[in-house]
Amino acid sequence: MDQSARLTDYLEAGLRAAGLRQSVIADNIANMATPGFRRRAVPFEQAFAEALAKGEPVRMDGLFRHVHRPMTDPVNDIGNDVQLETEVADLVRNGLLYKTYARLLGRMYQQMERAIVTET
């Protein structure tokens, strides 16, 4: 697989992970008053870095197994660990990541299109 195809796969994986993270964050916020609910997170970047270090492809079918409950945040009176401030900050950060992945992917496609047009 050539470099540009691999990079495209990585950026697409990032977009999908950001979409999944958006859903997880929304679910966390929706359940912030649910007794006993523990927040979930998507540590995609960590899994991505590990796959790159091992020289493995990032497999999208395994992305959902990376959704986990950190169980590290303090629990409130109802046994819930969702903190609105944390979730909103994660939401903003995730939105920026999504935009970055989308812009980079768009630029790659533009370069490919220019290369095709130039050669014809």
Q: How confident is the model at residue 78 (pLDDT cuts 50, 70, 90)?
A: very high
> 56-75: per-residue pLDDT in tens?
766 666 666 678 899 998 99
DSSP state of 5: H
Question: What pTM did the predictor assign?
Answer: 0.81
Residue 14 domain boundaries: 3-119
> Residue 33 is encoded by which pair of tokens?
């008053």
Taking all residues of the chain, what is their mean pLDDT, rounded to a whole number?
87
φ, ψ for residue 83 (rounded to 5)? -115, 120
> 26-59: per-residue pLDDT in tens?
999 999 999 999 999 998 887 778 777 887 766 6
Place of tokens 């697989």: 1
Number of domains in the chain: 1
Would you state the torsion angle of the CA atoms of residues 10, 13, 17, 20, taken in this order, to the nearest 10 degrees?
170
43 Cβ neighbours under 8 A, 6+ residues apart: 66, 68
